[in-house]
Chain A
Amino acid sequence: MTERSVDVEPAGENVAGEVPVEEPESVTDDTTVHDDDVELERTIGLVGGLAIGIGTMIGAGIFVFPGLAADNAGLAATLSFAIGGVIALLVALPTSELATAMPRSGGGYYFISRGMGTAYGAIVGLGLWLGLMFASAFYLVGLGHYASAVFAELGVTLPFSPVIGIGLLFGAALTALSIGGTENTAKLQNVVVGVLLVVLTGFLSYGVLDAVGVFGGGTVPEQFFSRGYFPVLSTAALVFTSYLGFAQVATVAGEIKQPGRNLPLAMVGSVLIVTVFYVVTIFVATSAFGADQLGQFGETAMVEVARDFLGLPGAVAILGAGLLATFSSANASILSASRAVYALSRDALLPRKASEVNLRYGTPHVALLAAGGPILVLVATGKVELLAEVASFLHLVMYGLMCVALIVLRRRDPGWYSPSYRVPGYPVVPAVGALASFGLIVFMQGASIGIGIVVMVVSYLWYRYYAGDVTLKGDI
């Protein structure tokens, strides 16, 4: 068993006089050890890690974006998803290195606060918390669209659009379930992801064969760049929300067994798997209908694609899969947001009270409410594209800074930094990863960029006010 010592000493105190919790003594394959006789058990294996990553990502990319993306970029939306996948991979590799060096809860926030100091850490940490809320709200609105489509399928016509109402309902239910439910949902998550992958593989295989003309119904693809070149990049920025999940694996890094092996495999593996699924999905969807018509179907375009191929059973299968996928994405994001709150409160950047554990249920009710409450407000706006872009913005800032943190740490080379996985192609990969992450932000809508910048400024001001004396950076 490998055992490594951890030698980062946080210091200082916040306005309320709370100091950061001491760092653990060492990290083993099975535990994080504090003071020699207190251990935190690691219980998530490789499959669990992959399920978190894929489960968080696949809901958005396949079940919400195809229609929107095709509307924006035409057939070239396929390329947009591929670009997103390449950027995600460029970030997932450095993140893997950081995660094996610091397999602790909090993910990107932890790496950046230890590598680059408290100010960057606070901006990223608070941004991650809020970014996950935006992401969650986005998934919930997507879920609302699918649930509404179910009503439409049943022939029930409602006098109003139920999308937002259903999103709110599920948001509230999910928060309540997370606080009060103690069933083992991790196993369930694994099963859900497995079922999704099987359904999608079957559906997409049929779709690909059909698209290349095996069943005689092939349509001739239209012009690839039907909307021009610029929309390819702006669409890549929009759909990047489909690639946020691998960082959620890092937020539970403290609970992953054999982190040196499982973290890189889970992160890089989940990015590769979903990229393939996304690209094939868009290819199949656009070849079935053409971009214009697909765009008109909006969020639930995949249901129409399935109906076109397989009739009503296909539509029902994809409806069910869409509900499952968006629900599990929203759930995973709420839980990650609560982990982010814990990591911040552990380091005295948020009140200790925020990560308090409920005595009756053993769940962090304050942190979960702090995630669930604002999510409802965001869902109420119902703006899918804006929610997605702000979530992507805040994550991309973190991704870029993670790549920078890796370069900083490699150059300073402190004694405690000894990752068991080292990124290939250093320094090119992290440098390109950072540039690409920051670069993608430029292609977003003005409103998304504005909201993102406001969140960052407020985060920084909060840090100056609340925890200006706290130092978290590792020894040099």
Chain B
Amino acid sequence: MTDRPSILVPIRVLEGESVPEGVPELLAHAHVVLLGYHVIPEQTAPGQAQMQFEDRARERLDEYETMFEEAGATVERRLVFTHEGQKTIDRTTTEHDCLAALVPNATGPVEDVLVAVRGAVGIDRLARVVAGLFGETDASVTLYHIAEDEETDEDVGTLLDGLVDRLADLGMDTSMVETRVDRDQEALDAIVETADGFDTVVMGESDPSLATFVFGLPADQVADRFLGPVLVVQREPPRETEE
């Protein structure tokens, strides 16, 4: 086994969120970055919450860490007290170089994986997540693309074949990989609809756009409507620029 993909698992540790059933098995081949975080109102100093809640939060995280380790993952963990949950998640993702973040929902044993392929951007990271997590399992992987009007069949073929080749390079048995293309559908609805027949979804984080501000990130919307776990592949972090 080479190069476990780092997957961020954010858990609001003191608000009853826990590691749902099936998630440790799903991430058995990952390097899990377990982020327990607690969001506090700004009237409260983060240290104040830490003073009171650290012990309890640690106990929970110990428990979760063991769950992941027993399933076979390697685990690194952080406990963060914060005023802004999103900032904490983004920062931890960057600091630990996570390829993807998990939206934790329960699942049974993972047999079918739906991989939503948007375009060529970020496809290498997508491949590393899929190959790393599912390359050594019996799960079948479906690469799913919703073609746009101006895309020809050749374009789509090149895109998906390229991804299959890349997965093969990473040591995956491509007989387990299928492709599926739909046209004339609204991407989000199509993903959610198709996802019904699958155990988990892997998708990219979209570029922020106006719609993102109004409706939230597409990945979040899918996670809200699809009841299983969603792996959101993170954008390449911007290269360190000089200050």
Contacts and interface: CB of A to CB of B under 8 A. Distances in A.
B142 to A, nearest CB: 37
Contacts of A182: 41
Contacts of B53: 357
Interface stretch (A39-47, A78-86, A225-233, A269-277): A39-47
Residue of A37, A178, A252, A346 contacting most chain B CB atoms (<10 Å): A37
B91 A30 contact: yes
A117 to B, nearest CB: 22
A37 B43 contact: no
B79 A38 contact: yes
A426 interface: no
Interface stretch (A129-137, A362-370, A416-424): A362-370
B221 interface: no
Given A37-B79, A38-B54, A342-B48, A363 B43 contact: yes
B47 A105 contact: yes
A356 interface: yes
Interface string B51-88: 11110000000000000000000000111111110011
Interface string A87-111: 0000000000000000001000000
A376 interface: no
A355 B42 contact: no
A182 B39 CA distance: 11
B46 A346 contact: no
A473 interface: no
A254 B82 contact: no
B78 A39 contact: yes
A38 B50 CA distance: 9
Contact of B51 (A355, A363, A368): A355
Contacts of A339: 45
Given A34-B50, A364-B48, A41 B80 contact: yes
A456 interface: no
A43 B47 contact: no
A242 B177 CA distance: 69
B50 A363 contact: no
A368 B50 CA distance: 18
B79 A43 contact: no
Residue of A105, A339, A362 contacting most chain B CB atoms (<10 Å): A362
B49 interface: yes
Contacts of B156: none
A37 to B, nearest CB: 6
Residue of A41, A179, A364 contacting most chain B CB atoms (<10 Å): A41
A368 B82 CA distance: 20
A40 to B, nearest CB: 4
Contact of B81 (A41, A178, A342, A364): A41
Contacts of A179: 43
B46 A254 contact: yes
Nearest to B43: A363
B78 A346 contact: no
A41 B50 contact: no
B31 to A, nearest CB: 15
B2 interface: no
A374 to B, nearest CB: 18
A255 B50 contact: no
A252 B83 CA distance: 13
Residue of B42, B50, B81, B88 contacting most chain A CB atoms (<10 Å): B42
Given A39-B79, A105-B47, 6 more contacts: A37-B78, A40-B80, A255-B46, A362-B40, A364-B43, A364-B48
- 9 closest Cβ contacts across the A-B interface? A41-B82, A40-B46, A43-B83, A182-B41, A39-B80, A363-B43, A38-B79, A43-B84, A342-B48
Interface of B: 40-54, 77-84, 87-88, 91
